[in-house]
């Protein structure tokens, strides 16, 4: 039986998908015939708009057991953003999806910090919002037993030195490679839990 994983995200997912294609890291390096990984992305995607995007139709078509979600970065720039509400909204949306699909496990990617660059100067609210969003996601996944198979990825090795492009937001080639291996390890661990 093939284990299906769906990785949903914004521009990080698109860039990672391109990186995997160029470097022949198809299917996250997992065994074809045993595992199948599909990547869906929409640049600029926000949590508030996920319910009206084509993401759930992709869930319905691909029928994943595991869904990996990489959202939040585009929501946290504003000083009026509510990181706790956004984290709850994302988890609730995926919980709803899991009630109406084959999803049995969800992995939430934490929002990564930004480096110096044009975006950092424009959005000083981002970093405190990012921290609160990630803390809230972790709290929900660890303490709400309704979602026992919902987990937040831990990118501890990656965050020591975050290799970013000059925009201060997106990962460069070295960063994409670290991100790829971090996600791959997380997918393998999640598969073993099921």
Q: What is the pTM of this model?
A: 0.92
| pLDDT tier for residue 40 given thresholds of 50, 70 and 90 | very high
DSSP codes, the chain = -PEEEEEEESHHHHHHHHHHHHTT-GGGGPPBTTEEEEEEE-TT--GGGGGGSSHHHHHHHH--SEEEEE--GGGSSSTT--HHHHHHHHHHHHHHHHHTSS--EEEEPPPPP--SSHHHHH-TTHHHHHHHHHHHHHHHHHH-GGGTTEEE---TTGGGS--B-TTSSSB-HHHHHHHHHHHHHHHHHHHHH-
Domains for the chain: give ranges and CATH numbers. Answer: 3-193 (3.40.50.1110)
- For the chain, the average pLDDT equals 89
| pLDDT tier for residue 143 given thresholds of 50, 70 and 90 | confident
Q: Which whole number is the average pLDDT over 3-20?
A: 93
Instruction: Give the pLDDT of residue 123.
Output: 79
pLDDT per residue as tens digits for the range 99-110: 999 999 999 999
Q: State yes or no: pLDDT of 158 exceeds 70.
A: no
């Amino acid at each position: 039986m093939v284990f299906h994983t769906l990785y949903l995200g914004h521009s990080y997912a698109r860039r990672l998908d391109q990186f995997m294609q160029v470097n022949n890291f198809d299917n996250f390096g997992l065994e074809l015939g045993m595992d199948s990984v599909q990547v869906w992305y929409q640049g600029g995607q926000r949590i508030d708009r996920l319910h009206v995007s084509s993401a759930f139709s992709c869930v319905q078509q691909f029928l994943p057991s595991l869904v990996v979600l990489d959202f939040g970065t585009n929501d946290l720039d504003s000083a009026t953003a509510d990181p706790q509400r956004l984290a709850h909204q994302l988890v609730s949306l995926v919980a709803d999806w899991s009630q109406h699909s084959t999803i049995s496990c969800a992995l939430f990617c934490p929002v990564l910090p930004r480096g110096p660059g044009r975006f950092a100067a424009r959005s000083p609210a981002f970093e405190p919002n990012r921290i609160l969003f990630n803390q809230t996601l972790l709290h929900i996944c660890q303490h709400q037993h309704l979602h026992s198979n919902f987990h937040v990825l831990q990118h501890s090795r990656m965050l020591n030195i975050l290799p970013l492009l000059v925009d201060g937001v997106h990962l460069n080639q070295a960063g994409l490679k670290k991100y790829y291996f971090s996600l791959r390890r997380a997918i393998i661990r999640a598969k073993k839990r099921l």
